[in-house]
Amino acid sequence: MKSLHFGARLCKLYVGANFSQIRIRKEDDNQQYRGNKFPLAVTISCTNFCNLKCTHCQAENYKDKDIPTTRFLGLIDEIAKSGCKKIGFTGGEPLIRNDIGKIIDRCRKRGLYISLVSNGTLVPNRVHELKGLHLLFLSLDGNREVHDSIRGNGNFDKVIAAAKSAVAGGIPVAFLSTLSSMNYKCIDEMASIVNNNRVHWMVGLIQTEFTGNRDQNVDSKRLKEIINKIRKVRYLRTSKKYLNFLVDGMPVNRCFAGIGYCVIDPRGLYTLFSCPIR
């Protein structure tokens, strides 16, 4: 029932989109940049500050000042007015910002579909501020031992507590897992944690370009076997296309970065570096 609900929301999101934003022709690209149309989906890294120091993350390398609340709310208005339908918040840790409730409320008022990625540590005390979210991603990087070795002692229990309190508060939750050499051996246990908590599951692959820690990459010979295990998990929401891309290197038809999608950094500047296929 939950997954039907989730599917219905996604349909609404895409059917509600401006057709030309989804099906633009190659020759229209430059026109799109010049015109008023904005990407369908925007991710805002709303702060680089974080209360954890994860072994695979590079957020702490950037210490730019976050944009203030008034400018942030104005940015949401501009994004919505330009035709964007879907907004995602990441960081750093978005809940480090004490105005996150106000930001979510503004997104709701502007009719945006809103998701947020969190490490969960601050969620139980802030559930009331997060009620406007359509989806709360909580990062789960392993079983208790592995998650805590990546994210610090006690944080596995905190993310599970976060999932329970968000679900109890009526917020749809997905665990978000980054596959790496550190956690692929406990993938069965991670699947059981997802199944036991009955929340959605999104899986992505570690990117080591920024950190330079190539030893954190998953052994390419094991990747297919691991992905095939992941595919069987009932609550998995990662697209088949992305999983095929990981296993077979199947080319993605088009990259929508800058046209269908863009990222705004904590200073309020936009970047076009990735493609939202997962």
CB of 116 to ligand SAM, least distance (A): 8
CB of 244 to ligand SAM, least distance (A): 19
Q: How many residues bind ligand SAM (CB under 6 A)?
A: 19
Q: How far apart are CA 180 and CA 184, in angstroms?
A: 6
The whole-angstrom distance between residue 244's C-alpha and the CA centroid of its chain comes to 19
Q: How far apart are CA 57 and CA 92, in angstroms?
A: 9
Stretch that binds ligand SAM, among 12-20, 80-88, 89-97, 247-255 (CB under 6 A): 89-97
Instruction: Tell me whether residue 107 or residue 203 sits nearer to ligand SAM (CB atom).
Output: 203
Over the window 177 to 206, marking each residue x when it contacts ligand SAM by CB under 6 A and - when it does not, the resulting string is -x-------------------------x-x
Q: Shortest CA distance to 189 belongs to which of 145, 249, 221, 251?
A: 145
Instruction: Tell me whether residue 59 or residue 135 sits nearer to ligand SAM (CB atom).
Output: 59
Binding of ligand SAM at residue 217 (CB under 6 A)? Answer: no
Q: Which single residue is written with the structure tokens 């990747």?
A: 223
Q: How far apart are CA 274 and CA 165, in angstroms?
A: 32
Q: How far apart are CA 113 and CA 85, in angstroms?
A: 6
Give me the sheet containing 173-179, strands edge to edge.
200-205, 173-179, 135-139, 113-118, 86-90, 41-45, 261-264, 270-271
The per-residue DSSP string of 30-86 comes to HHHHHSS---SEEEEE--S--S---TT--GGG--PPPPPHHHHHHHHHHHHHTT--E
Which residues partner with 270 through β-bridges?
264
Binding ligand SAM by CB under 6 A: which of 40, 41, 42, 91?
Answer: 91
CB of 121 to ligand SAM, least distance (A): 9
Binding ligand SAM by CB under 6 A: which of 93, 183, 238, 266?
Answer: 93
Binding of ligand SAM at residue 119 (CB under 6 A)? Answer: yes
Over the window 128 to 157, marking each residue x when it contacts ligand SAM by CB under 6 A and - when it does not, the resulting string is -----------x-x----------------
CB of 93 to ligand SAM, least distance (A): 4
Instruction: Tell me whether residue 57 or residue 262 sits nearer to ligand SAM (CB atom).
Output: 57
Binding ligand SAM by CB under 6 A: which of 20, 55, 69, 207?
Answer: 207
**Which amino acid makes up residue 130?**
L
Over the window 33 to 72, marking each residue x when it contacts ligand SAM by CB under 6 A and - when it does not, the resulting string is -----------------x-----xx-x-------------
Binding of ligand SAM at residue 84 (CB under 6 A)? Answer: no
Which residues partner with 87 through β-bridges?
42, 114
Q: Which of residues 245-274 bind ligand SAM (CB under 6 A)?
A: none
User: Do 86 and 40 contact (CB within 8 A), yes or no?
Assistant: yes
Half-sphere exposure at residue 97, Cβ-oriented, CA atoms within 13 angstroms? 28
**Binding-site ranges for ligand SAM (CB under 6 A):** 50, 56-57, 59, 90-91, 93, 117-119, 139, 141, 176, 178, 204, 206-207, 210-211
